[in-house]
C-alpha cells in the first residue's frame, strides 16, 4: 500500500476529498511532502472541475484509490522553490495539469512526450516517486516537481485560465498533431460542447478554421455561434441534420464523456478525414467498419499533452487571449457542481475559488 505517512510528508494541507463511490466530497486534512530540491510549492488559487474528476470520484473507470482529492486544472502562485529549480521564482503565476511524474528516461520522456511514458503518474490518484498517493488541486497547497509546472501568461486571468491546464491542452495537442495550428481554412468538427469542446471551438476559430459543433443539446446553438464563434451547428440526434453534414469535415475532435457510437460521427468526415478521440466514456465506444473503410478514415486517440506542449499552449492562449468560459464556485458548492456537471448543466467549466479570492 502506498504511504501517506512517508516521513518527509510533514506539511498539513486542507483539501476536499471523496471517500467512496457515492462521489460525495467532504473537507479532508492530509499531509504533503516537504519541498524537495526539484520541487516548487504552490499556493493553489483556482482549480477547474473536469469531467475526469467526476469519473474518478464515482469510480467510473474502476481505478480510484480512496480517499481521492481530485483536481488537475490548477493555477496558483509559487511560495517555495527547491535548490535545483532555476526557471521559477517565488511569486510566479503558474499552472499544474494532469502530470505529476514520469520515468524521465524512456524514449517518450526524452523526446518531450512524457505524457505517453508507460510509468506516467497523475496529479491525483497516481503514485509518486516516493510511493505516496498523489492528491490534486481541490486543496489549498500543492508541492509539484518543477518539470510538471508551466507559467501562466500575465494577461490571462488565473480563474479562467485554470481549465486550460487540462481541457485546453487535451484539445490543443491533437489539433497540433492534425496540423491545425499553422494551416488555416480546414473544416473542423467538435463533437459536443462541454468543458473540452468549448475551448476546442475557441482554439479552432482562432487558428482560422471553419468550425462545426456537433451536439446533443439544441439549446447550445445560439451560444455556440454567437459567443464562441462556431460557423455551423449540427444536432447529433437529428438524422436530417446529420445527413446534411455527411462528408463535410477534414478533422473531428470527439470529446464526449458518455457512451456513443463513432459510426455517425465518422460519416461527417471527408474521405481521408481523421477523427481524434479524447473523451473517455467508461464503456467501449462502437466503431462500425463501414464508415471507416468507405471513407478511408482514421481514428486516433490523444491523452493530455506533454509539458513542452502545455507551455506552448499557454503561450498561444496568452497571445490570442483565449481563456475558458467559467462559473466560479466556492468549495462548499463542489457537490452541487459535480451533480450539475453530471446533468450536463454547466456553461462551460466550473472553477473552484480555492483561495477565496472572489470573496475579497
Ligand atoms: P463535460 O464538460 O461534461 O462535457 C461533456 C459533454 O458531452 C457534455 O457537455 C455534452 O455536450 C456531451 N454529452 C453528455 N452526455 C452525453 C450523451 N449521453 N451523449 C452524447 N453527448 C453527451 O466533460 P469534459 O470535461 O469536457 O470531458 C469530456 C470527456 O473527456 C470526459 O470523458 C473526460 O474524462 C475526458 N477527458 C479526456 C482527456 C484526455 O486526456 N484524453 C482529458 C480530459 C478529459 P452536448 O450537450 O454538446 O452534447
Ligand atoms: Zn481533466
- pLDDT for residue 3 is more than 60: no
pLDDT in tens, 237-248: 999 999 999 999
* Range list of β-strands (E), 64-209: 74-81, 93-96, 99-101, 121-122, 141-145, 150-151, 187-191
C-alpha of 89 from chain center: 26
Give the distance (Å) from ligand 2 centre to CA of residue 64.
15
pLDDT at 360 (0 to 100): 55
- Among candidates 93, 80, 102, 77, which has minimal Cα distance to 33? 80
Beta partners for residue 140, in sequence order: none
Q: Is the pLDDT of residue 176 over 50?
A: yes
The ligand that comes nearest to the alpha carbon of residue 218 is 1
Quote the DSSP letter at residue 115: G
Mean predicted lDDT score pLDDT of the chain:
96
Instruction: Give the model's confidence band at 359: pLDDT under 50 very low, under 70 low, under 90 confident, else very high.
Output: low
pLDDT for res 203: 98
Ligand 1 atom 4 nearest Cα: 194
Q: How far apart are CA 333 and CA 327, in angstroms?
A: 11
Write down the pLDDT at residue 1: 43
| Per-residue confidence (pLDDT) for residue 357, from 0 to 100 | 81
pLDDT score for 5? 59
* DSSP SS3 for 301: strand
Give me the pLDDT at residue 13, please: 97
- Pick the range with the lowest mean pLDDT from 80-84, 209-213, 284-288: 284-288
Average pLDDT over residues 144-169: 98
- pLDDT at 82 > cutoff 70: yes
Average of per-residue pLDDT across 202-231: 97
**How much is the average pLDDT of 65-76?**
98
Which of 225, 299, 344, 348 is the best mutation target for the ligand 1 pocket, counting ligand atoms within 8 Å of the beta carbon and taking the most? 344
Task: Indicate if the pLDDT at residue 277 is higher than 90.
Answer: yes
Q: Which of 48, 49, 51, 301 is the pocket-test mutation for ligand 1 (most atoms within 8 Å of CB)?
A: 51
pLDDT given for residue 358 in this prediction: 74
Give 296 Cα–ligand 2 centroid separation in angstroms: 31
Q: What are phi and psi of 53, to 5 degrees?
A: -60, -40
pLDDT tens digits for range 89-108: 999 999 999 999 999 999 99
Amino acid at each position: 500500500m502506498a504511504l501517506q505517512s512517508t516521513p518527509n510528508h510533514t506539511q498539513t494541507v486542507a483539501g476536499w476529498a471523496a471517500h467512496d463511490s457515492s462521489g460525495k466530497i467532504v473537507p479532508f486534512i492530509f499531509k504533503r511532502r516537504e519541498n524537495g530540491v526539484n520541487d516548487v510549492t504552490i499556493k493553489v488559487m483556482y482549480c477547474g472541475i473536469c469531467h475526469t474528476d467526476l469519473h474518478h470520484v464515482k469510480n467510473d473507470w474502476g481505478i480510484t484509490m480512496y480517499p481521492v482529492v481530485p483536481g488537475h486544472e490548477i493555477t496558483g502562485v509559487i511560495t517555495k522553490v527547491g535548490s535545483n529549480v532555476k526557471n521559477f521564482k517565488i511569486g510566479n503565476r503558474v499552472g499544474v495539469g494532469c502530470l505529476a511524474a514520469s520515468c524521465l528516461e524512456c524514449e517518450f520522456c526524452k523526446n518531450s512526450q512524457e505524457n505517453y511514458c508507460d510509468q506516467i503518474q497523475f496529479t491525483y490518484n497516481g503514485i509518486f516517486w516516493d510511493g505516496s498517493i498523489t492528491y490534486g488541486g481541490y486543496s489549498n497547497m500543492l508541492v509539484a516537481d518543477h518539470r510538471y509546472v508551466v507559467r501562466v501568461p500575465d494577461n490571462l486571468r488565473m480563474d479562467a485560465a485554470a481549465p486550460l491546464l487540462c481541457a485546453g491542452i487535451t484539445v490543443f495537442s491533437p489539433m497540433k498533431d492534425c496540423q491545425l495550428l499553422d494551416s488555416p481554412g480546414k473544416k473542423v468538427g467538435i463533437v459536443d460542447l462541454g468543458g473540452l469542446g468549448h475551448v476546442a471551438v475557441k482554439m479552432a476559430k482562432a487558428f482560422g478554421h471553419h468550425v462545426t459543433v456537433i451536439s446533443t443539446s439544441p439549446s447550445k446553438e445560439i451560444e455556440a455561434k454567437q459567443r464562441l464563434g462556431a460557423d455551423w451547428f449540427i444536432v447529433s440526434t437529428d438524422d436530417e441534420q446529420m445527413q446534411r453534414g455527411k462528408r463535410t469535415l477534414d478533422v473531428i475532435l470527439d470529446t464526449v464523456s458518455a457512451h456513443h457510437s463513432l459510426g455517425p460521427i465518422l460519416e461527417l468526415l471527408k474521405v481521408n478525414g481523421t477523427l481524434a478521440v479524447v473523451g473517455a466514456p467508461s464503456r467501449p465506444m462502437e466503431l462500425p467498419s463501414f464508415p471507416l473503410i468507405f471513407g478511408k478514415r482514421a481514428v486516433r486517440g490523444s491523452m493530455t499533452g506533454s509539458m513542452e506542449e502545455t507551455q506552448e499552449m499557454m503561450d498561444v492562449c496568452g497571445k490570442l487571449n483565449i481563456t475558458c468560459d467559467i462559473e466560479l464556485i466556492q468549495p462548499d458548492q463542489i457537490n452541487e457542481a459535480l451533480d450539475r456537471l453530471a446533468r450536463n448543466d454547466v456553461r462551460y467549466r466550473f472553477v473552484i475559488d480555492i483561495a477565496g479570492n472572489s470573496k475579497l
